[in-house]
Amino acid sequence: MNNNALYQLSYGVYVVSTWDKGRGTGCIANSAMQITSQPATIAVSINHDNYTNQCIQDTGKFAISILGEHCNPGVIGTFGFKSGRDNNKFDEVQQAVKGFLPVVADACGYIVCEVIDKMETSTHTVFLGKVLDADVLKQDVPMTYAYYHNVIKGKSPKNAPTYIAE
């Protein structure tokens, strides 16, 4: 199999967040996509080992913060390479509450979803969310996964669904 074909798929870079007993938490995910328009539904794929998975299971809700090209790369460092199990991620990144969920204040926009279904794979849960609220927060170019790799020179950790061991 030629893994380079998988690299030809396009994605964005998002923070998928929710509440954890009153505090905001979440992780970076490239794996968000709109599934239907009427009603608007979104799917995200979150690794079983990510603390965010457990928190979404508990709350039944998640928000997607759409990161822009000019966002502080520290947002990706905090949400993509640390765990909410032992870090208060929103102590390092400014939080806003939108549609009753915590989102990244500096994002281009956000989408708030209620989980209406889920599918388990061997490593990830695919959460299907009905969109409850969404808005544009600022003018910036939404970051693509290609921009993250080619311009920021970012890496994908093991729990990202696109991870391929070297």
Ligand X SMILES: Cc1cc2nc3c(=O)[nH]c(=O)nc-3n(C[C@H](O)[C@H](O)[C@H](O)COP(=O)(O)O)c2cc1C
Q: Which range, of 35-43, 97-105, 136-144, 152-160, touches ligand X by CB under 6 A?
A: 152-160
Q: Print the SS3 string covering the chain.
A: CCCHHHHCCCCECEEEEEEECCEEEEEEECCEEEEEECCEEEEEEEECCCHHHHHHHHHCEEEEEECECCCCHHHHHHHHHCCCCCCCHHHHCCEEEECCEEEECCCCEEEEEEEEEEEECCCEEEEEEEEEEEEECCCCCECEHHHHHHCCCCCCCCCCCCCCCC
> Which of 19, 110, 127, 148 is in the footprint of ligand X by CB under 6 A?
148
Query: Minimum distance between the CB of residue 38 and ligand X, rounded to whole angstroms?
Result: 26
- Is residue 107 a contact point for ligand X (CB under 6 A)? no
Pick 32 or 131: Cβ nearer ligand X: 32
> Which of 12, 29, 107, 110 is in the footprint of ligand X by CB under 6 A?
29
- Is residue 83 a contact point for ligand X (CB under 6 A)? yes
- Is residue 160 a contact point for ligand X (CB under 6 A)? yes
> Which of 17, 18, 50, 65 is in the footprint of ligand X by CB under 6 A?
50
Positions touching ligand X (CB under 6 A) are 13, 25, 27-31, 45-47, 50-52, 76, 80-85, 124, 148, 154, 156-157, 159-161
